[in-house]
Structure 1
Amino acid sequence: MRVTFPDDAPVFDGAQMVVRFVANVEGVPLSCAITAEALEDHFGAGSTLESELLRAYADGRERIRDVCQRAIEQSDGAAVVLRSGLFRIERA
């Protein structure tokens, strides 16, 4: 399965408290997200303010994309929401 990530800017979704981003799976755009909690716990976001979460996403973009790619592959190409616990598992 070919998973790539365009250079589109991530978007903060305050209603769901996630940062949304796009992955392309076999050339088809797929909406993915990482929770504010995961960004605070693992990527240094100091609060749930939009600016803090987007900065943390930018700082952790490579690892976030790596974990996202594996999660997409494990879900047979379905959209994923990356939660804090997933990064604990990936680190072990």
Structure 2
Amino acid sequence: MHIHFPQERPEYCARDLVIAFPAEIGGERVQCAITAEALEDHFGAASLREDDLIAAFDTHRYPIEQAARRLLDEVGARPVMLHSGYFRFCD
């Protein structure tokens, strides 16, 4: 399965406290997201503010996308959510 992550600006979702970013699998877009908690716990986000979460995502985009890739390999072309607990055990 070929998974590609377009280099688009991630989207902040205040209601769910996540940063969403797209993946493309076989030309089909699939939404991926990482929780604010995961960004604080594992990627140095200074706070839950949108600017801090986006900055942490941008700084650590590659390892976040690689984690999403591992999940997408497992579940196929379905949306994935990266929680803090996933990063405790994925490495």
> Taking structure 2 as the reference length, what is the TM-score of the superposition?
0.97
> Displacement of 1:28 after TM fit?
0.5
Structure 2: segments with no counterpart, 5+ residues:
none
- 2:65 & 2:31 partners in 1: Cα distance? 13
Instruction: Map 1:62-73; keep pairs closer than 5 Å.
Output: 62-73=62-73
Instruction: Map 1:1-92; keep pairs closer than 5 Å.
Output: 1-91=1-91
Greater than 4 Å deviation, 4+ residue runs: none
Structure 1: segments with no counterpart, 5+ residues:
none
> Displacement of 1:78 after TM fit?
1.2
- 2:83 & 2:58 partners in 1: Cα distance? 17
Question: What is the identity percentage for the equivalent residue pairs of Structure 1 and Structure 2?
Answer: 38
> Displacement of 1:76 after TM fit?
2.0
- 1:10 & 1:20 partners in 2: Cα distance? 6
Root-mean-square deviation (CA), in Å?
A: 0.7
- 1:24 & 1:76 partners in 2: Cα distance? 11
SS in 2 for 1:78: coil
Give the number of aligned pairs. 91
Question: Cα deviations across residues 6-61 of structure 1 (Å, max 9, x unaligned)?
Answer: 01110100000000000001111111100000000000001100000000000110
> Displacement of 1:77 after TM fit?
2.1
